């Protein structure tokens, strides 16, 4: 294994400088947040590196704040356990927290970050459906300044993100939750814990003042395509309904229709298509239940 | 380009300078530079938990931490559990319940269990099982480990 230069960045400028100085065209500089994907890939020889730039000490990447008017700010290096313990996130961004909390064991939760999950860009990444249905924006910094990329556009394919050479992900920004809205995420794995999704589904819903009529809905699927993605038709099938059986069936069918899975050790394509529908229905019901619960708490 | 450096961390309460190659994991630094071989190497992919240590209050797989990352950090390894020759209640409970056979996973389980009880002194069975899901044991079938952790929680409660 070739020598490795290890740089601990104290500031964003440090990190961008280190990235710019050694990035070059060889792609052998990597940004280290939790390291739970990167270190394994590097050690296995799948990702030869000359330099690691550690990001966890940069203040901007450790932001975790909620403001009812501005929404959630999640620094790219915030470890999953911090998000899972952050009450406003648990309350208002359930699909994200439920997905992030499923990533690995207690030990992995201590290190892995949602930002890293996004940049690693696995098709089965558990935190991404939640970001998509909450319409998260990814704040990116690079040599040419800052830009924002919608979470749904951030992943380009397995292991490929919208980051250009020299750029890094600073923060995820989730819009404030509208009244009477809620979300949920479910994944299917063949055992109780510690596995990679066969299928994942996130749902976000908003309801009218009657608390029953769905006014806005978004559904995202994971592990059934090259990246997690939004299924517009599944959300559209719910709008205007009271989540009655025909609406739920239409949303589930839209998800099954939109699924483009492969067959691998975790399941066949046919099974995944079926499960995309099943999990979509359950994630919608889970979000609806959360919305009812939060409405009750608000009125209590 | 030299890639060796000295990293200073507080290991089991003692400030310890470690001469490390920047390619080394915290696991390698603990075993090879600090001579603390209680922490075991298992899978090297963060799946088995044999290398668990407490890093700044949180259990981590030391195989997935770079040694160069721990400058200024506080680390507890299995060697730091016993105090003045007296076993930590978690260690005593593992002995009392015969919660080990070959012993390779045991340091990781002990450290994970201590981290749990530090955070949650009265965990439910479900909380213990989920917390320890990142520690694999191929000998015991987990039942005795579960009993040991429950027992350690009880004895910690009475000594507090």
User: Which of B 66-95 lie inside 8 A of A, CB atoms?
Assistant: 66, 68-69, 71
**What is the mean pLDDT of the segment spanning B54-74?**
98
CATH code for residues B4-80: 3.10.20.30
Query: What tens-digit pLDDT sequence spans chain A (300 residues)?
Result: 899 999 999 999 999 998 887 655 467 899 999 999 999 999 999 999 999 999 999 999 999 999 999 999 999 999 999 999 999 999 999 999 999 999 999 999 999 999 999 999 999 999 999 999 999 999 999 999 999 999 999 999 999 999 998 999 999 999 999 999 999 999 999 877 778 899 999 999 999 999 999 999 999 999 999 999 999 999 999 999 999 999 999 999 999 999 999 999 999 999 999 999 999 999 999 999 999 988 777 765
CB pairs under 8 A between A and B: 85
Interface contact flag, A108 B1, Cβ < 8 Å: no
Mutation target for B interface from A4, A45, A107: give the one with most B CBs within 10 A. A107
Q: Name the class of domain B89-159.
A: mainly alpha
β partners of residue A205: A182, A217
Confidence of residue B98 (pLDDT cuts 50, 70, 90): very high
Q: pLDDT per residue over B11-33, tens digit each?
A: 999 999 999 999 999 999 999 99
Q: Decide if B4-80 and B89-159 have a common fold.
A: no
For chain B, the structural domain boundaries read 4-80, 89-159
Element (DSSP H or E) covering residue A116: helix A114-120
Interface contact flag, B64 A32, Cβ < 8 Å: no
Confidence of residue B159 (pLDDT cuts 50, 70, 90): confident
B133 touches chain A (CB under 8 A): yes
Q: Out of A107, A108, A193, whose CB is closest to B130?
A: A193
pLDDT of residue A299: 66
C-alpha–C-alpha distance, residues A123 and A223, integer Å? 5
Query: What are the CA-CA distances from residue A39 to residues A114, A120, A194, A196 (Å)?
Result: 16, 12, 19, 18
pTM of the model: 0.95
Confidence of residue B83 (pLDDT cuts 50, 70, 90): very high
Q: Out of B23, B52, B63, whose CB is closest to A4?
A: B23
Task: Copy the structure tokens of residue A50.
Answer: 């000359």
Task: Copy the structure tokens of residue A191.
Answer: 């055992």
pLDDT of residue A27: 76
B56 touches chain A (CB under 8 A): no
Query: Nearest Cα to A95, choosing from A25, A187, A14, A165?
Result: A187
Confidence of residue B2 (pLDDT cuts 50, 70, 90): low
C-alpha–C-alpha distance, residues B49 and A110, integer Å? 13
Contacts of B130 (CB under 8 A, 6+ apart): A106, A193
User: Contact at 8 Å (CB) between A247 and A241?
Assistant: yes
C-alpha–C-alpha distance, residues A7 and A18, integer Å? 8
B85 Cα to chain A: minimum distance (Å)? 28
For chain B, what is the mean pLDDT? Answer: 96
Query: What are the CA-CA distances from residue A87 to residues A83, A84, A163, A260 (Å)?
Result: 8, 8, 30, 35
Mutation target for A interface from B48, B53, B56, B66: give the one with most A CBs within 10 A. B66
C-alpha–C-alpha distance, residues B2 and A3, integer Å? 8
Q: Out of A5, A39, A193, whose CB is closest to B64?
A: A39
List CB contacts (< 8 A) between B3 and chain A: 3-6
């Amino acid at each position: 294994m070739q020598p490795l230069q290890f740089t601990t960045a104290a500031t964003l400028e440090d990190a961008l400088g280190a990235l710019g100085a050694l990035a070059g065209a060889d792609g052998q500089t990597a940004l280290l947040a939790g390291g739970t994907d990167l270190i394994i890939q590097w050690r296995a020889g799948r990702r030869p590196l000359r330099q690691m730039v550690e990001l966890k000490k940069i203040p901007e990447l450790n932001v975790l704040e909620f403001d009812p008017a501005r929404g959630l700010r999640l620094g790219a290096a915030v470890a999953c356990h911090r998000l899972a313990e952050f009450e406003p996130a648990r309350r208002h961004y359930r699909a994200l927290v439920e997905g992030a909390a499923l990533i690995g064991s207690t030990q992995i939760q201590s290190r892995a970050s949602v930002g890293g999950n996004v940049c690693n860009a696995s098709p089965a990444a558990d935190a991404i459906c939640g970001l998509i249905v909450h319409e998260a924006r990814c704040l990116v910094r690079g040599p040419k300044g800052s830009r924002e990329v919608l979470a749904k556009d951030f992943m380009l394919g397995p292991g490929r993100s919208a980051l250009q050479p020299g750029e890094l992900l600073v923060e995820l920004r989730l819009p404030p939750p509208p009244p009477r809205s809620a979300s949920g995420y479910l994944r299917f794995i063949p055992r109780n814990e510690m596995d990679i999704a066969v299928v994942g589904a996130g749902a976000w819903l908003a309801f009218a003042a009657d608390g029953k009529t769905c006014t806005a809905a978004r559904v995202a699927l994971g592990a059934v395509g090259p990246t997690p993605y939004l299924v517009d038709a599944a959300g559209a099938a719910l709008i205007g309904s009271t989540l009655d059986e025909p609406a739920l069936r239409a949303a589930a069918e839209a998800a099954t229709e939109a699924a483009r899975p492969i067959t691998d050790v975790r399941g066949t394509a046919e099974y995944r298509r079926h499960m995309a529908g099943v999990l979509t229905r359950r994630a919608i019901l889970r979000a609806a239940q959360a919305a009812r619960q939060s409405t009750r708490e608000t009125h209590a | 380009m030299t890639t060796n450096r000295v990293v200073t961390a507080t290991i089991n309460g003692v400030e310890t300078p470690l001469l490390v190659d920047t390619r080394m994991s915290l696991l390698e630094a603990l075993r090879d530079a600090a001579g603390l071989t209680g922490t075991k190497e298992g899978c090297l992919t963060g799946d088995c938990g044999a290398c668990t240590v407490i890093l700044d209050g949180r259990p981590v797989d030391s195989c997935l931490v770079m040694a160069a990352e721990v400058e200024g950090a506080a680390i507890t390894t299995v060697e730091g559990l016993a105090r003045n020759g007296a076993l930590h209640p978690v260690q005593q409970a593992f002995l009392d319940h015969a919660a080990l056979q070959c012993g390779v996973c045991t340091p990781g389980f002990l450290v994970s269990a201590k981290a749990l009880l530090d955070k949650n002194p009265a965990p439910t069975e479900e909380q213990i099982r989920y917390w320890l899901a990142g520690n694999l044991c191929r000998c015991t079938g987990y039942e005795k480990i579960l009993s040991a952790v429950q027992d350690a929680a009880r004895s910690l409660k009475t000594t507090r």
